[in-house]
Amino acid sequence: MISLMEVSRWYGMVLGLNRVSLDLESGVTGLLGVNGAGKSTLLNICAGLLLPSTGSVTLGGKSIFANPEALRLLGYCPSVDHFYEEMTGLDFVAYLARLSGYSQDEAMERAVRTCREVSLVEEAHYRMCRMSKGMRQKVKIAQALVHDPDVVLLDEPLNGMDPRSRVQTIELIRKLGEAGKHILVSSHVLHEVEAMTSRILLLDRGRILASGEVLEVREAIHSRPLRIFLRCADARLMGAELSAWPCVLSVSFSPDGRGITLEVSEAGRFYRDLTALLSKRDLGIEIINPLDDNLAAVFEYLVK
């Protein structure tokens, strides 16, 4: 739906984005990066708020920047707050629905329904100046969804929310992705992104370091061994057995003598050989836990 081709963005002498190309697929894509990596710049360009210095950005085959026809397909939740502080949250969402072309009655109907979807019911009648940070975040998400866009851009949507609201919002984002929406959501809280999606886009200093499913990205990092933890009845015996395998680079034992941490160069070969071994012998394995197949490990390795 959204397509970027060789997009760069300069701020004077500072390079915010560096030749970024991507096609946003349906479902949820997590946009990851440390502060200053270029996440907000990328989202603002996708939202048509910034013109690229070089390259092209299209939505449904149409140029995004200053193009109302393309922008009708898009909803954007920015990281910053800009509200009419004396309006209620409900009236604010309805007002933005009116700007999308809906009648007054239909805009209010949509606003009520969307506020409920983001778990903002009684609080929707509060004036914006009385709302907490978490409530204001929900209003921003509601206004991004009120016109039922095909593409949803969310810049740090969970910022300031309490734990319950975070869980509710993560579930909403997952459901929107499952319904076929094209969602790009930025965050630096890795476990929250993992709760929404396994598909990531990792930015660092304006460049895309990796994109795709977390496991695919991890498997593409051939230079770093995979760490695997095993717990079994006789760790010493298991360690002696596995240390002879060519794909096992190192073996270390936990203090209680029942755990082993392995460094493995070829995960696929290791699991095949382990399955074959266990089909012949009962070694009392209780736990097999890959330690580096998570988003945090992939992020740390690629960035650092």
Q: How far is CA 241 from CA 89, 257, 270, in A?
A: 64, 15, 13
Instruction: Give me the pLDDT at residue 75, please.
Output: 96
- Answer whether 229's CB lies under 8 Å from 289's CB: yes
264 and 172 within one domain: no
Give the tens place of pLDDT for each residue, 121-180.
999 999 999 999 999 999 999 999 999 999 999 999 999 898 889 999 999 999 999 999
Phi, psi of 181 (to 5 degrees): -70, 150
Phi, psi of 76 (to 5 degrees): -135, 125
Give the domain CATH number at 270: 3.30.70.920
150 and 74 within one domain: yes
Instruction: Give me the pLDDT at residue 303, please.
Output: 66
Q: What is the CA radius of gyration of the chain?
A: 24
When divided into structural domains, the chain yields a total of 2
- Residues 25-47: what's their mean pLDDT? 91
Instruction: Give me the pLDDT at residue 56, please.
Output: 95
38 and 173 within one domain: yes
Instruction: Give me the pLDDT at residue 294, please.
Output: 59
249 and 186 within one domain: no
95 and 15 within one domain: yes
Q: Residue 50 — pLDDT band, cuts 50, 70, 90?
A: very high
Give the tens place of pLDDT for each residue, 218-265.
666 655 677 888 888 888 888 888 888 988 999 999 887 789 998 888
- Please check the confidence at residue 214 and state whether its pLDDT lies above 60: yes
Q: Residue 285 — pLDDT band, cuts 50, 70, 90?
A: confident
- Answer whether 158's CB lies under 8 Å from 2's CB: no
14 and 132 within one domain: yes
Q: What's the CA gap between 31 and 47, in Å, rounded?
A: 14
The residue segments making up the domain with residue 84 are: 2-217
Kindly state the tokens that stand for 69.
């026809």
Q: 102 or 223: whose pLDDT is higher? A: 102
Q: What's the CA gap between 62 and 220, in Å, rounded?
A: 34
- Look at residues 168, 195, 217 and tell me which one is the last residue of a structural domain: 217
